[in-house]
Structure 1
Amino acid sequence: MDPRFKIAHREALIGVGLAIVHFIWWFGFAYGLGSAPVEEYKYILGFPEWFFYSCIVGFLLVSLTVIILAKFVLKDVSFEEEGDQL
């Protein structure tokens, strides 16, 4: 078996794991803090607290995590067959 498939499988699992963690983060803050009556909302920078943490902070954390993963964890793999020459 080609070792590139092992690398691709591992990196796909990392991507799916990151998507699941992001969804849990978003869902937890959006429905956890957002389920209170509107009169009880707290605001951060003009946004409801639930929106700020679920959408703004969550997006920034996931973006930063993707950048770190791309730089230090994911590998650059050639799509060319080992025997192909130009």
Structure 2
Amino acid sequence: MSVPIVTSNVEELTHIPTPTTPLKVEGGQTIVGVKDGIPLIQDSEGNLVKDLSIPVKKLPSGNIEIKTADGKQKSYQRLVKKYMLHFLF
């Protein structure tokens, strides 16, 4: 499945989390995607679920910024659903 990355500022993106390239955040959760500005994690059955407990900062572009486990800020696109991504330029 190919899912577009929706962003108005691609240069702002610092990482695109997926189940194969996850990102550990400051609170200890592991983000595997982002949908509509909400971080997604995998539940115990492997399903992608929204995690509203992860603090995000909405950027003017519509992207979001999240603090990682190492204390750095990372910017993410508004939408990622599954494993394969298709970039629109």
TM-score category of the 2 structures, normalised to the smaller one: under 0.3
Q: Which structure shows the bigger proportion of residues in strand conformation? A: 2
With CA pairs under 8 Å and 6+ residues apart, which has the higher RCO, 1 or 2? 2
Q: Which structure shows the bigger proportion of residues in helix conformation? A: 1
Larger radius of gyration: 1
- TM-score (norm: length of structure 1): 0.21
